[in-house]
Chains A and B, each alone.
With several copies, the nearest count.
Chain A
Amino acid sequence: MTERKNYTASELLAVMSGRILKDGQIVFAGVGIPLLAATLAQGVHAPGLTILFEGGVIGPFVVPGELPPSTNEQRCTRRANMVLPITDVLLLLQRGYIDVGFMGGAQIDRYGNLNSSFIGDPDNPSIRLPGTGGGNDISSLTQMIVAMKHEKRRFVEKVDYITSPGFIDGGSSRADSGLIAGGMYRVVTDLAILSFDEKTKEMQVEALHPGVSAEEVKDNTGFDIKIGDHVARTEPPQKDELAVLRNLDPERLYTA
């Protein structure tokens, strides 16, 4: 990265993933970067974007400086259009009302499978992670955007455990397993925007962030990742984007 950057890696993540969201979409968001990015998108280019939370919330407005600690507390319901039981909000994914699921990730592999359950052998793990929450449901039932730090230990050849399915073993294996809808759409990192090959379903570089080289991405990825010769380059975060973001999280809870 260049020396001149006036934003943190987390801010870059929030801005870049927020830009992918389109006006009018219905987005099932986790807390942290996804929530910030979606709220940022509402403020900048997508006023008709609707956010849903796993706790049972449709169309809330997040109050700047009062970010919710999870998707299941009353702060998530500020000025919401509707609250409903958890099972029912998750069923909206199964019915097909949701355009995008948007969450963070701890470990991802070549085919976009996510692991948030076990590091190491699940029968004898070195770390027991908190688990799927709604992650498995979201990634099974809709199109996904994942925002995460780009580190070699997080981008692995094969996850230790598929908590939230991406394209499983690539090719048609996701649909073959019975997951006939949804799938990974984009992975947004602090280095690049990643997409998946239409046929093989392997992760590839869609665009590099300002000042990031192809080498840097390869070095921070635990598998061989395809980067085209004429790969696109993203625009750096703009003043208005950063201003909205910093107003939302003045204490830098999620954007330190």
Chain B
Amino acid sequence: MAEGTLVTPHLELRRKTAERDRGLREKVMSLEEAASYVSDGDHVAIGGCTMSRTPTALIWALVKARRKNLKISRSIVSSEGEVLYGSGVSNHIITSWFSQGIVWGVSKVMRHHTESGKARFDEWSHMSIGLRYRAGAMGIPYMPVRSMIGSDVNARLGDEVKEVECPFTGERLIALPALNPDVALIHVQRADAYGNAQLDGLQFMDIDIAMAANRVILTTERIVSNDQIRRAPDHTRIPFFTVDAVIEVPYGSAPHECYGVYEPFFDHMDTLAAQTKADPVKGMKKYLDDFYYGPESWSDYLDLLGADALVDAGRRGRSIYND
């Protein structure tokens, strides 16, 4: 996105889309290769919500690649936001809610970076974030909405929102600016080598993000055949031509959950919360050293989580289908 441009002009958006190779082609690669699809300064949208279907492995790869100055947007930001702030990969996060999770109280890492002015946290209402992606996905420059009106959330956003009047009813609404991220990072349960993705359970904002973005990097618990995708085309949620890279990454959301596959690694999250609560700077540095800079590969990272934790999270995750 051009610096300072809130909404990408339509012809520029079209030009970027036209330049992408959208033909039916295989695009399987490694996490390291995929990380090169993200440039310093990009606006990166993150799929999932809170501790669900977070593309942790991709964020891990971006931290290891020492990416800088990313502008991040997400529905609700959890510990991956602490990692992005703490590693210096991002100092600007756009979201509706940012903390590790309700049960752990207010994030000390978020507080440390925002209260000191080291990093920016732009707050929009949850639906507003979603409708900004949706407008971007639809190819319109704004979406009228009845929320945020009258609040300080709206007031604080200044010129980033505008008041409009309905030309039919005269009702006053807010115009939300379309959001077309440079890159979207999305983790799913299964996809084929072309990037056709099928999501089980909670969808969050992932479909709109994929449609809105100018590049999509997809990690998947497993790569399935295109034949399997074609057997249930009404389960496909993201079409291949929006996707630029596909990486098979088992446990790609750990320590967060992937619906029906594994639940959050609660003990790991407890430990992270305790050490950042004690000291947001040192606690986060230790976490990054231990789990990001230390392990050489994603397999090494999973080794650190430990087989017991992997098995336990998996058992809890699959239990959703036990009823």
Contact = CB atoms under 8 A, between A and B. Distances in A.
A74 B257 contact: yes
A95 B137 contact: yes
Interface residues of A, number: 73
A74 B114 contact: no
Nearest to B16: A96
Given A57-B202, A83-B233, A94-B140, A178 B149 contact: yes
Interface in A27-68: 31-32, 48-50, 54-59
If over half of A's interface residues share one DSSP class (helix, strand or loop), that class is named, otherwise mixed; here it is loop
A162 interface: yes
A55 B320 CA distance: 16
A93 B137 CA distance: 11
Interface string B166-209: 00000111100000000000000000001010000111111110
A117 B95 CA distance: 12
B90 interface: no
A165 B51 CA distance: 27
B188 to A, nearest CB: 14
The size bracket of the interface on B is 35 or more
Nearest to B138: A91
Interface stretch (A125-133, A144-152, A203-211): A125-133
B79 to A, nearest CB: 12
B148 A85 contact: no
Given A50-B241, A87-B130, A95-B138, A70 B24 contact: no
Chain B CB count within 10 A is highest, among A84, A94, A135, A174, for A94
B13 A131 contact: no
B125 A134 contact: yes
B280 interface: no
B229 A95 contact: no
Nearest to B207: A85
B41 interface: no
A126 B17 CA distance: 43
A232 interface: no
Interface stretch (A18-26, A187-195, A213-221, A223-231): A18-26
A128 B110 contact: yes
Interface in B74-88: 75-76
Interface string A69-102: 1101111111111111111001111111101000
A107 interface: no
Chain A CB count within 10 A is highest, among B22, B98, B121, B140, for B22
A177 B149 contact: yes
A72 B76 contact: yes
Contact of A132 (B24, B103, B123, B226): B123
A185 interface: no
Given A32-B102, A72-B49, A94-B138, A141 B147 contact: yes
Contacts of A74: 52, 201-202, 257, 259-260, 263, 317, 320
A83 B201 contact: yes
Interface in B120-159: 121, 123-128, 130-131, 133-134, 137-140, 145-153, 156
A133 B96 contact: yes
B14 A181 contact: yes
B202 A164 contact: no
Interface in A148-180: 161-165, 168, 173-174, 177-180
B131 to A, nearest CB: 6
B10 interface: yes
A85 B236 CA distance: 12
B149 A140 contact: yes
Contact of B150 (A78, A132, A174): A174
A77 B233 contact: yes
A253 interface: yes
Contacts of B21: 24
Contacts of B25: 24, 48
B166 to A, nearest CB: 11
Given A85-B206, A128-B111, 15 more contacts: A24-B24, A72-B49, A81-B240, A85-B207, A86-B130, A94-B138, A96-B139, A97-B242, A117-B123, A130-B97, A132-B153, A133-B97, A137-B128, A137-B148, A164-B151
State the 9 A-B residue pairs at the shortest beta-carbon distance, nearest first. Answer: A24-B23, A87-B130, A177-B150, A95-B139, A82-B236, A94-B139, A133-B97, A90-B127, A136-B125
27 contacts: A24-B21, A24-B22, A69-B264, A70-B103, A72-B50, A74-B201, A75-B263, A86-B203, A86-B205, A90-B126, A92-B211, A94-B127, A96-B14, A97-B22, A99-B18, A129-B106, A131-B121, A134-B125, A136-B125, A136-B126, A137-B128, A161-B152, A163-B153, A164-B151, A165-B151, A178-B174, A181-B14
